[in-house]
């Protein structure tokens, strides 16, 4: 073998030894860059927002599943395992998002109150405004508007059936969740009492005024909690827009009669 050939062979040998190490080093650097990129991505606002959105979605599913389960079985009968299953979430997610079954139960009450506030809030705000209480006529009109809005929400929202189940259970066996519900319903009753008092010339604190408002609200609620009786007796298949309009006409006429009978001389 010539000197030139020997040098070429040596170079090839060194290259063969170096190549795998170089390839490994390049792969290692590539992996490191990939890890760095992944770490950077996890720290990015987009990653944090996506993770937060997924967490918020899971929390919402748990609340909606708990609303249904608590309404059907009550607090004692409902299990966190069943709630997690219906929410398609891990059991540990309840602890992570709420800490306990009791806290989840309260979160459901807050959810119901929040949903009702969104839907009835504008009507409540209008009914509680000074101009609504300015004269008996404006107070009467505001009261009618408030009751019609309440009817549309309680009878027109499919989710209201689950709200009613939960609320009725809390009425029969109150827990801390009822305090949350009472603050909302009590506030609406207070506005109704001020409107009735403005029409009749009485005081919002009068027993008769308070009972009148409860009677007015009850006229609507019965169509939700006694829905099957209503459907069978009326021969309706459902309580749709046409049926709600008929209910509201009767409610307004009844409230009108109650107010006329209660007006002070």
Question: Do 198 and 85 reside in the same domain of the chain?
Answer: no
The answer to whether the beta carbons of residues 105 and 98 sit under 8 Å apart is: no
pLDDT band for 224, please (50, 70, 90 cuts). Answer: very high
Provide the pLDDT for residue 26: 47
The answer to whether the beta carbons of residues 195 and 143 sit under 8 Å apart is: yes
| Rounded (5°) CA angle 230-231-232 | 95
| Domain stops at, among 45, 72, 97 | 97
Q: Tell me how many domains the chain contains.
A: 2
Question: Do 72 and 130 reside in the same domain of the chain?
Answer: no
Question: Do 90 and 145 reside in the same domain of the chain?
Answer: no
- Neighbouring CB atoms inside 10 A of 241's CB total 9
| Domain stops at, among 82, 97, 112 | 97
Q: What is the rounded distance in angstroms from the CA atom of residue 86 to the CA atom of residue 115?
A: 21
Per-residue model confidence as pLDDT tens digits over 158-171: 899 999 999 999 99
Question: Do 202 and 122 reside in the same domain of the chain?
Answer: yes
Provide the pLDDT for residue 43: 56
Question: Do 214 and 88 reside in the same domain of the chain?
Answer: no
Question: Whole domain around residue 202: which residue ranges?
Answer: 101-262
Question: Do 131 and 163 reside in the same domain of the chain?
Answer: yes
Q: What is the rounded distance in angstroms from the CA atom of residue 256 to the CA atom of residue 199?
A: 10
- Buried b / exposed e over 224-235, threshold 16 CB at 10 Å, is bbebeebeeeee
Q: Which of 153, 165, 162, 159 is nearest to 124 (CA)?
A: 153
Provide the pLDDT for residue 229: 96
DSSP state of 10: H
Question: Do 134 and 202 reside in the same domain of the chain?
Answer: yes
| Domain stops at, among 42, 62, 97 | 97
Question: Do 196 and 216 reside in the same domain of the chain?
Answer: yes
Q: What is the rounded distance in angstroms from the CA atom of residue 256 to the CA atom of residue 219?
A: 13
CATH number at residue 162: 1.10.357.10
Provide the pLDDT for residue 118: 92
pLDDT mean over 37-47: 47
Provide the pLDDT for residue 54: 63
Question: Do 60 and 72 reside in the same domain of the chain?
Answer: yes
Per-residue model confidence as pLDDT tens digits over 235-250: 999 999 999 999 999 9
The predicted model scores a pTM of 0.75
The answer to whether the beta carbons of residues 133 and 198 sit under 8 Å apart is: yes
Q: What is the rounded distance in angstroms from the CA atom of residue 116 to the CA atom of residue 113?
A: 5
CATH number at residue 47: 1.10.10.60
112 to 90, 93, 136, 185, 218: CA distances (angstroms):
24, 21, 32, 11, 18
Q: Give the chain's end-to-end CA distance (angstroms, integer).
A: 132
């Amino acid at each position: 073998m010539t000197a030139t050939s020997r040098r070429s062979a040596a170079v090839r040998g060194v290259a063969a030894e170096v190549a795998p190490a170089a390839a490994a080093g390049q792969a290692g650097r590539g992996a490191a860059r990939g890890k760095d990129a992944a770490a950077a991505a996890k720290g990015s606002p987009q990653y944090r927002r996506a993770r937060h959105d997924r967490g918020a979605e899971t929390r919402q599913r748990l609340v909606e599943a708990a609303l249904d389960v608590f309404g059907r079985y009550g607090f004692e009968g409902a299990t966190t395992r069943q709630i997690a299953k219906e929410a398609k979430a891990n059991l540990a997610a309840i602890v992570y998002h709420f800490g306990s079954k009791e806290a989840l139960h309260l979160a459901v009450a807050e959810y119901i109150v929040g949903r009702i506030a969104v839907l009835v809030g504008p009507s409540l705000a209008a009914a509680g405004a000074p101009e609504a209480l300015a004269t008996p006529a404006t107070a009467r009109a505001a009261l009618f508007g408030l009751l019609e809005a309440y009817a549309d929400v309680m009878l027109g929202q499919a989710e209201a059936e689950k709200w009613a189940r939960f609320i009725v259970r809390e009425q029969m066996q109150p827990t801390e969740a009822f305090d949350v519900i009472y603050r909302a319903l009590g506030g609406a009753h207070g506005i109704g009492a001020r409107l009735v008092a403005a029409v009749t010339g009485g005081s919002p604190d009068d027993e008769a005024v308070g009972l009148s408002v409860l009677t007015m609200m009850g006229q609507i609620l019965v169509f939700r909690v006694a829905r099957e009786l209503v459907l069978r007796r009326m021969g309706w298949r459902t309580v749709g827009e046409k049926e709600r309009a008929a209910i509201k006409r009767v409610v307004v006429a009844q409230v009108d009669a109650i107010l006329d009978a209660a007006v002070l001389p």
